[in-house]
Structure 1
Amino acid sequence: MPKSRVRKKKVYSSPTGTSSSSADSYEPSPTWVPITAVALIVIGIGWLTLFYLSGMAYPVAAWGYWNLAVGFSCMVAALLVLSKWR
């Protein structure tokens, strides 16, 4: 039985027009990005916890269930801020 030919793998070459220095052009995020994100997460969780533990009387009783929207919005905002973190 004849042996099959061994195929050589092609050597990877980067696409033309892009340089490897473009990856070095990214700067690290400012320190306020993770601090703001953690603060928004803590505020959101604290808002929701206070809302449920107070029997829906605090933080703003007149808002009713809109307090849930405020708490979850803080956490979603934290995710949006974290998407900018490098």
Structure 2
Amino acid sequence: MPESRSRKKPAYTPPTAASSAPKPNPVWWVPVMLGLMVLGLLWVVTTYMSSTSFPIPGIGSWNLAVGFGLMLVGFVMTMRWR
């Protein structure tokens, strides 16, 4: 009985794993994050101290929304901080 031919197939090599480690944040990330939180806090404090007439005189109580919005953006940035 004749012998069967062996296959000339290369051995299986698994694909190289891409580095799944999270990349570090840019250098400016933390100063901007902290700056937005502090600026929002100062905005809200200024609004309360001036009875909603400052920092932007024409918008009244919306000054609080601007201040809390700035703080919210800063806090959202903390979730992406590595």
Q: TM-score, normalised by structure 1?
A: 0.68
Identity score, percent: 32
Structure 1 ranges of 4+ moved more than 3 A: 21-24
Q: How many residue pairs are counted as aligned between the two chains?
A: 68
Question: How far apart, in 1, do the equivalents of 2:26 and 2:33 lie?
Answer: 12
Q: TM-score, normalised by structure 2?
A: 0.71
Secondary structure at the aligned position of 2:37 is classed as helix
**Residue in structure 2 matched with residue 82 of structure 1 by the alignment:** 78
- Unpaired runs of 5+ residues, structure 2, are 1-16
Question: How far apart, in 1, do the equivalents of 2:57 and 2:42 lie?
Answer: 16
**Residue in structure 2 matched with residue 71 of structure 1 by the alignment:** 67
Question: How far apart, in 1, do the equivalents of 2:19 and 2:72 lie?
Answer: 29
Question: How far apart, in 2, do the equivalents of 1:22 and 1:45 lie?
Answer: 42
Cα RMSD of the aligned pairs, angstroms, is: 2.2
User: Structure 1: which amino acid aligns with 2:51?
Assistant: G
